Structure 1
Amino acid sequence: MSIAVQSGSSHRKATRRAVLSGVASTIVVLVAACGDGGTSATGQPSPEASTSPLAAAALVVEDPWVKATDDGMTAAFGVLVNETSADITIASVATDVSPVVELHEMAMQDGAMVMREKDGGIVVPANGSHTLEPGGDHIMLMDIARPVLPGDEVAFTLTFADGTTSQFTAVAKPFAGAEESYDPDMDMDNG
């Protein structure tokens, strides 16, 4: 199941959370009705129950945005909110704006700040959040296929470690802060 998540007012966020919670609850009931109740013969939770793909249904992306640019590279940002009691790992991201999308981090290496692909994806802690921001972790779009102009809406598909997916849309904004360069000639360590 894919769920489109867009930025909005606090009221819309609360409504989104209620809808997501209701959808997840409905799916849990349906899965339980079709399965063995998630327990093994010993009465312990089965492995399927502890690694359920339902966790991905409760990830919310708050205030998503993309740095507007005419060509080359750009990045997407926002706050990833995990409303479940299990960690959620984002393994990859895709968008039709870029053929190559990577999860990146900014890290100190040999006394210098470098941008590199984040090993193991991005883990959003249980009942917690993870911020994607300029100068920190972000979604990197390389060799963009078309300009991303201020006001454009860019659709993304997140793929989680368990193989499930979720979608969100981010609005493009002009941004010159954090002294970062998403220039194709920039020296990046790809880890």
Structure 2
Amino acid sequence: MSSRIRLAHFLPAIALTLGLLAAGCSTDASSTTAAAEAPAAPAASAATETTISITDPWFKAADKGMTAAFGTLVNNTDKPLTIVSATSDVSTMELHEMTMKDGKMVMQPKEGGFVLPAKGKHELSPGGDHLMFMELKSPVQAGDEVTFTLKLADGSTVPFTAVAKPYSGAEESYAPDGGMTMSSGSASK
């Protein structure tokens, strides 16, 4: 009988020890889960730090030839970023700017790319900086979606999709040498 009494005294101690071990395992498991999740948060914020977003992206619908994409590029990082090129399946592309030369507004490739200041914006608009589609491979009608990819100076890329819209603009005429003349009419969307 004395061995039964001793066993009765040890059972609560054994149960308590097993309970603590189980609790310790649960704590370790949740710590392991939390530790496994912890690295994901910095990775997500790191992705945010290198992200450029675009507000109201759109593409000028066209049957052939040249056309352009517009919108507002937003730098979501704490450092300046430079867009050095753009690509698309629908056409070869160039970064373009509008500038005055010899009293005329002309379009030309943007030397050095588009620089987005830290936490800043860069407007792409008709009559200003824009993403130029040089020779469309097929017509892009109003409502079509056009995907293009921006390449940054650090080698990273950012894809975007823009919706094609009808736009008569300032009735610009693209010259084969890359020049552009504009009529005296005003631009309207």
User: Residue 94 in 1 paired to residue 87 in 2?
Assistant: yes
User: Aligned AA for 1:26?
Assistant: A
Cα drift, residue 136 of structure 1: 0.1
1:130 and 2:122 aligned: yes
Which structure shows the bigger proportion of residues in helix conformation?
A: 2
> Are the counterparts in 1 of residues 51 and 158 from structure 2 also a CA contact under 8 Å?
no
- Which one of 65, 70, 91 corresponds to residue 72 of structure 1? 65
Q: Distance in 1 between matches of 2:144 and 2:177?
A: 25
**Shift of the alpha carbon at 1:178?**
2.6
Q: CA deviation at 1:187?
A: 5.0
Tell me the TM-score normalised to structure 2 length.
0.69
How far residue 27 of structure 1 moved from its aligned partner, in angstroms, is: 4.9
Give the equivalent residue in structure 1 for 2:156: 164
**Following TM superposition, by how much is the alpha carbon of 1:152 offset from its aligned partner in structure 2, in angstroms?**
0.4
User: How far apart are the structure 1 equivalents of 2:66 and 2:145?
Assistant: 16
**2:95 & 2:159 partners in 1: Cα distance?**
16
Structure 1 residues 187 and 91, CA, compared in 2 at 3 Å: closer, same or farther? closer
Which of the residues 97, 107, 117 maps onto 1:105? 97
- CA 1:124 to 1:88, structure 2 compared with 1: closer, same or farther past 3 Å? same
Measure the CA separation in 2 of the matches of 1:173 and 1:24.
38
1:96 is matched by which residue type in structure 2? Answer: D
Residues 24 and 90 of structure 1, relative CA distance in 2, 3 Å threshold: farther
Q: Is the 8 A contact 1:72 1:184 kept in 2?
A: no
The two structures, once aligned, show a CA RMSD in angstroms of 2.2
- The amino acid across from 2:90 in the alignment is V
TM-score, L = length of structure 1: 0.68
Checking the alignment, whether the CA contact within 8 Å between 2:48 and 2:77 is kept in structure 1 is: no
The one-letter amino acid of 2:134's match is M
Query: Structure 2: how far apart are the matches of 1:180 and 1:165?
Result: 30
Q: How far did 1:188 drift?
A: 1.7
1:26 has 2:26 as partner:
no
Matched letter for residue 123 of structure 2: T
Alignment-derived partner of residue 37 in structure 1: none
Distance 1:184 1:70 in 2: 17
Contact residue 24 and residue 54 of structure 1 kept, 8 A? no
Matched, 1:188 2:172: no
Task: Give the equivalent residue in structure 1 for 2:55.
Answer: 62
Which protein is bigger by CA-based radius of gyration? 2
In the TM superposition, what whole-angstrom CA distance separates every residue of 1:12-51 from its partner, at most 9, and x where no partner exists? xxxxxxxxxxx8842567xxxxxxxxxxxxxxxxxxxxxx
Higher relative contact order (CA 8 A, sep 6+): 1
